[in-house]
Structures are given as structure tokens and as C-alpha cells.
Structure 1
């Protein structure tokens, strides 16, 4: 046997093995077309997927497998022309089985050319992606429903918050009038009656903070959190907040250690900055009762830096980012109150003012929250 004959025989055997390999593939429809689009080969995978036997399809035009809609718009010629021009064409579309049923298919069409570049035909590889497509459609449906539910929830929060705020304002006004009247009585404002009024005030303030937090949730979600910038002395705001928390610090047995630079002045929203400080101080007292709270305010170049440090229960490393998410908490709600909104709102405010808020903590060793705000405020903020 000559060398040429041996090479030719080896080539024939290789081609036969390749044909056997393609014919035996059952998970993919693999078949060849001539240059005019007629089926030349048809493997077991194609028979299983489309329902046509090899005898039925070989010699037939590939358009047999297309939907009437695709045929009307010339999809067959379009795909073959694209494959011929680019060498390969990939699509995800509907195909038709022998019994008329349809399925979603991922189809790759490859142009086959000889050594001189002449088009000899096409190779098609088709995979059934119906289940994948259904899963994606179900995912999209669930996502739409989730978005609708979130929108409905936010709308409810907004409406409920506004509805709650009106009677709260009325209750506070009536409570002030009651206090004023009590001051004129013989009992004065000391004693059991006064203590009851203080407790009522505390509960109303707590409810008002919750309502404001719910309103902020709606505003932030709808990208409607406005900032009214003005020249603000951060040291003065800090002193005001500390004054509001004096009784709470005393009740919790938390000694306050304060250090502030003079003249930490920037363009911020005073109420929003007050909100950040209040949230951080409230958490320090809540999670570290009986232990000191350290507050440090510095001016560092063109930024202000506020540090609130407690010596309470601390936060594990895996929870340190999660606690800044909406409605997230690092502790059980059975042991600590709150809705998991304070830190999320604080971060949104800090970032809205061009700054940031971070935490450093270890379980059992307390937590340190650091707020950094540019003195220039947020460009384009409302005056």
C-alpha cells in the first residue's frame, strides 16, 4: 500500500468516526445544509428535537423548521446571508417540530468554505432552551411583581406617614397646652403628674421619629430626598443634639466624653446632619448602656470628621456592611427595639451630602462610627 493510499484511508476513517460522533449526539441537533439551504445530514439529536427522521428531512429545505411568522419576514435567507458574510450567526428563536408544536431554540449557523473560499454550505447546531426561557420569563414576572409590591409598599408608607403626622402634631400642641395649664395649678409641674407628662412627651417623640423615618424611606426610594444647604456650625448642632440626649444618657448610665474643634463650619442641611448625629448617639446608648460614649468632632483640611464611639456589644465583621441596608439589624429585635432604618438613612444622607459613613467594630469591644463630610456641601443643593 502506497503512502498516499494509507493517508487517504486514514482520512476516510477519521471522517467516518466524525460522522458517527455527530450522528450519536442526542442533546444537540447537528446537521449540514448545502449552499442553497437544503438539508444534507441529520443526526439523532435533530431527529429527537424536531421529530423528523433523516429520510424525511434530507433533501428538504431548512425552512421546513421555521415558524410561519419567520418565513413571512424572510428570516431563513437573512440568517444564511449573515452566516455567509460574517462566518457565523447566532440567534435564540422559535422553531417548529414535525407535529406543529413550537420550542425555543438556541441556534448557531456556521458557513463552510473550501480552501479557495467558495461557500460549500452551512453547519447548524441547535439546542432546546425552552425550559431556560420559561425560567427567565418566570424570573422577569416575579421581578415585575416584586417591583410593583415595593412601589405599593412605599406608596403606603408615604400615605401612612403623612396620615400619622397630622394627628401627632395635634397631640403635641394639646400636650403643650395641658402643660401650660398645669403650671398654673397648685400642684405645679413637679411630682407624679409631671413625670407622666415627661413620659408622654417621650413616647410622642419616639413615634414622631418613626413617622419621619418612614417618610424618609419613601423619599429615598423615590429619589426625592432634598437637601437645603446653608452655613452650619457642626459644633453647635452637636451641642444641641447632646442636650436633647442628656436625660437619656443619664438614665442609661452612659458617661459622655466630648472633644470638639472650634469653627467646624460647612454648607450642609442642618436638620439632616442633626439626624445623623441623633441616630449614631441613640445607637451608642442603646447598645452600650452603663458604659461611656465618646464623641469627637474635628476639622481635617476641607472636611469635617465626626466620630461616635461606644463600648457596647459590638458588631461582627460579616454584619458591618449589612447594617447599613434598609430594615437590616445585626441583633435580634426581641432584645433591642427599632426598625433597622437609622443607619441606612444616615448613610443615604451622608452620601447625599458628598460624604460617607463607616464603622469599625469587634464583638464585645464596642463600635466606632466615623462620618466624613466635605465642608463645601453638595454642589447644586437647594438653598
Structure 2
């Protein structure tokens, strides 16, 4: 029996049963008209939740803002087909690397009836490929070199600068004890300034140290040390300890995110969630603070730029969202596949 001879119901049953590919139809305006089991598995929505919604819901915010979904439909309508690989978004907000094909569907008279869309999740394959390339190996070496340099600086500051300043503080206290009251007050103020500087340097050496005992242990220690006055929760859903360069990248991004919470958010509570996902580590840092607005310029803050660059350099993604007064969520994912050394 030829494919053309198969009953329509059997063809629909076949499409609906496929789980490795998201296969669905769009109307001419881009609204979802059908939904198969693979689409639900890959994207997370049930048919009842998603049918009738515009397909741009699957695109990252920056792609929606640039008009990319509409451009892809226009290209498919003009050329009959559009194909690409890129980031897409699941129902829970996480991203996955997708292979996407959009095909224009036309009636016998040539009128546009809609589009067929096939999506495949390539995140794990992309992570594996990246782990084996020379760029990934170079990145691993770079991260390790950066952490060695941070460790050296921390050691130098602790063993030399801090010890010298502690000695200066002790001498100032001794000197103040033998001076008249009007002079002792000034020397005492100098001693207090030196003591405060020593405290800041000790905080710096702590922040410079890498998570030597593992990612979860390192983040736990950082939360205990730095988040005084803020209730915190660390949720660990990792399958195991990530490779060292991945753990360090995650730790440094979390460190910057938590620093922002402590300095800028005015938060009462913060939660850090770690989970194994798509061959990598997915992290959410959520606070209940002041949130963000377009007007406050925080998206251009150096720390936010650094977080994004760390994630993207590692082959992952990073995003931030939050409405005024509704808290802020930093969301990112980095691959966690060991690199070959030869």
C-alpha cells in the first residue's frame, strides 16, 4: 500500500504518536492549530494549553522583540520552507537548542492555508559536540588559569597585605594608649579605618577563592558568609558534581547574582535552584526584592554583562526578568560535559 493510500486517520495517528519530534500546524497568522505528543514532551505544554496561542511563545524574548517569528513565516511563505538551528523556550522558561523546519502549506489554488512546523531538541547533541571541540578545551584551560590567578591573589592579600595592615592597627592602638585624649581620638579613628579595611580585604579573599569542596558546598558557604540578614534556600537537584570548569562558571555567575541581590534588591529572601538538564546545569536565582524596570538601567550593569558573557562563553544562555516590586529571577544554563584532554 502506498503512503497516499493510507487512511487519513492513520496518518494523523502516526503524527500524533511521534515523541522525538514536535510536529504541529500553524494557521496563516502563526497561531497553533494542532499539537502532537512530541511537542508536549519537548515544549512542556498540553494541547489544551497551547492550541490557539501564537507560536512566538516558543522564542526567547530578544527574538520576539526583533520580530524573528514573523520574519520566519514570511520567508517560509515566500520560499516554501524555512530551516534553522537556534534557542527555543519551554513552558517552564528553560531554553533548548532546536532544529526547526517551517513549511508553507498551500491549497490546490495556491492559497496559503497555514504552516507545518517540525522541531527537534538538539541540546544534548550540541553540548556533546561542543565538549569535544578545541574551543571548549581552550575555555576549560582559561577558566582553570583564571581560578589559579584568583587563588594566588587571595593568598598574597591574606599572607602579606592583611598581615601588614593588622600589624599597623596593633601599633596604632598601642600608640593611642600613650597619647593625650585630644590626640588619641584621631589615632583611634585611624585604627578603626585600618580594621574596617582589613575586614573588606578578608571578604575579598573569600570571594576570590573557588568552590574547592564542590559546587553545592561552595555555594552553601558563600550564602552563609555573604547573605546575612537575607533568608536563603539552596535547592539541589543535580545528578552529580559537574566538571570543574562548569562548576566554577556556575559558581561565579551565582556569586555575581547574589552580590546584586545583597547590594541592590532590598530582598528579604532568595532561593538558588540547581538542576541537571540537557547535559548541563540549569540554575535559577530568585529574590523577592524591588525587581527591575527598563528605566533603571540595570540591564547595562557591568555585573549583569559579566554574567551573560560567562554563560555564553561556556556555550550556554542567560536571562534576567522581574517586574517592579515583584522580585528578580536570574535564569541560566551551561553545559556540563567533561572535555577530552587529548
- Greater relative CO, 1 or 2 (CA 8 Å, sep 6+): 2
Which TM-score bucket, shorter chain as reference?
0.3 to 0.5
Query: What TM-score does the superposition give when structure 2 sets the normalisation length?
Result: 0.38
When Rg is computed on C-alpha atoms for both structures, the one with the higher figure is 1
Query: What TM-score does the superposition give when structure 1 sets the normalisation length?
Result: 0.34
